[in-house]
Homo-oligomer: A and B are copies of this chain.
Amino acid sequence: MNTYAPVSALSTAREISSKRLTPQAALDHCRKRVLKHEGSVKAFEELAEKWVANSGPLAGIAIGVKDIFDTFDIATTYGSSLYADHQPSIDSTLVTMLRNCGATIAGKTVTTEFAWFSPGKTCNPHNLQHTPGGSSSGSAAGVAAGFFPAAIGTQTGGSIIRPAAFCGVSGYKPSFRLFPTLGLKHFSWSLDTIGFFAARAEDNAFIAATCSNRDLMINEADNSAPRIGVYRSQIDDLMSGDMAEAVDHTVKRAEQNGATVVEVIGNDIVEAARAAHAIIQGFEAVLALADERRRSAQKLSEKLTEYLDECSQITPDQYDDARRTANHARKASRQLFEECDILLLPSAPGSAPETLASTGDSVFNRMWTLLGMPCVNVVSGFNHKNMPLGIQVIAPFGKDKKALQAAHWLENISHR
């Protein structure tokens, strides 16, 4: 069954602002999709009892909230049985920012256990036998299925970009700390990054710009082609054949539409961040889950327990070394943009694997998360199984608007 039917947040807001649609009707439209297809997609950890329209620039926009963000009015499980009945007393900051703009919280969406690897129940709306990716599984799948026009999630390894790619929607992982993580259950505070899911880049830009009051909106008058750097590194042989074709095809189409394209070869200093990621994440996860490990170890999954036991061997010196490696890589990453505005590379090794026992591999994401650079997934096409293939646009740290604008340009030329 294919339940793919994303709804544009920007178009919805425009229809509402021009009075062609009421906020409540917009919510009701999405809610009908939920009632029809949630039984098969399973995007929600908990669906909000009612969706009531508010006022503000995001009135009528239902937003799926990954169940790793605290909400004062809906239980928050962090994907763990340990927190099955956990009711936070306040909202996480990002949720309040969205409510302050009139958004309606659709409910809590399924996350893997503590936003790490052990999968939840969610299925891929393109094909229910395939993983939606993780850890922001329900947020990505829910946007793809048209349950809500937008959703929020987090990326510590590849948890925004990968599920967006697998589900065929736009995923935007902002520059590190551009959006506050307060009220988030942390797994690794040097990596955990808040991000957004929506139909297209312009929708993500709209939501992110509106709730933060930042200059992130797509400039629709700007049709200029970006200077693209196709990023090549040692891990490229992990790409599937259809992914390699999708990259080539996207590059060719971009060139035909006026983009200049160069190859950018990953240098050793930047690439060293890949190994540093594992050390930083592991060391911090042991501390982030210190109380759970001390008092409730039996309620953690076996996989997580083993991981934490192993990571507890990482010394402060190894951690500090990894942080230094990351800092050097952040500085060296500027060189990658000497001849291009943005980098282009796969969002994942291929399309969503045909399994619900794993959320796929974040190998093409982890390094960029540690470097803190903005990443946007662009739906680049569909393979022979009709599963989406995602390519990510990456801009220098702090150049989020450039990443979103380039993603928008790539989306536009794919329709020509």
Residues of A within 8 A of B (CB): 72, 83, 86, 89-91, 93, 96-97, 99-100, 180-183, 186, 189, 212-215, 284, 287-288, 290-292, 294-295, 315-316
- Contact check, B182 vs A287: say whether CB atoms are below 8 A apart: yes
- Contact check, B316 vs A96: say whether CB atoms are below 8 A apart: no
Given the known inter-chain contacts A96-B294, A290-B97, please indicate yes or no for A316 contacting B214, CB distance below 8 A.
yes
Q: What chain B residues lie within 8 Å of A290 (beta carbons)?
A: 91, 93, 96-97, 100
Given the known inter-chain contacts A212-B316, A213-B315, A316-B214, please indicate yes or no for A180 contacting B287, CB distance below 8 A.
yes
Q: What chain B residues lie within 8 Å of A295 (beta carbons)?
A: 72, 90
Q: Can you list 8 pairs linking A and B with CB atoms under 8 Å apart?
A: A90-B292, A96-B291, A96-B294, A100-B294, A180-B287, A182-B186, A183-B291, A213-B315
- Contact check, A291 vs B180: say whether CB atoms are below 8 A apart: no
Q: What chain B residues lie within 8 Å of A83 (beta carbons)?
A: 89
State the CA gap A284–B212 with chains docked (Å).
Answer: 12
- Copy number in the complex reads 2
- Contact check, B97 vs A287: say whether CB atoms are below 8 A apart: yes
- Contact check, A86 vs B86: say whether CB atoms are below 8 A apart: no
Q: What chain B residues lie within 8 Å of A189 (beta carbons)?
A: 180-182
| A68 shortest CB reach to chain B, Å | 14
- Contact check, A294 vs B182: say whether CB atoms are below 8 A apart: no
| A101 shortest CB reach to chain B, Å | 12
Task: From the candidates B72, B96, B181, B291, name the one contacting A93 in the complex (CB within 8 A).
Answer: B291
- Contact check, B93 vs A316: say whether CB atoms are below 8 A apart: no
Q: What chain B residues lie within 8 Å of A316 (beta carbons)?
A: 212-215
Cβ-closest chain B residue relative to A91? B291
Q: What chain B residues lie within 8 Å of A96 (beta carbons)?
A: 290-291, 294
| A80 shortest CB reach to chain B, Å | 12
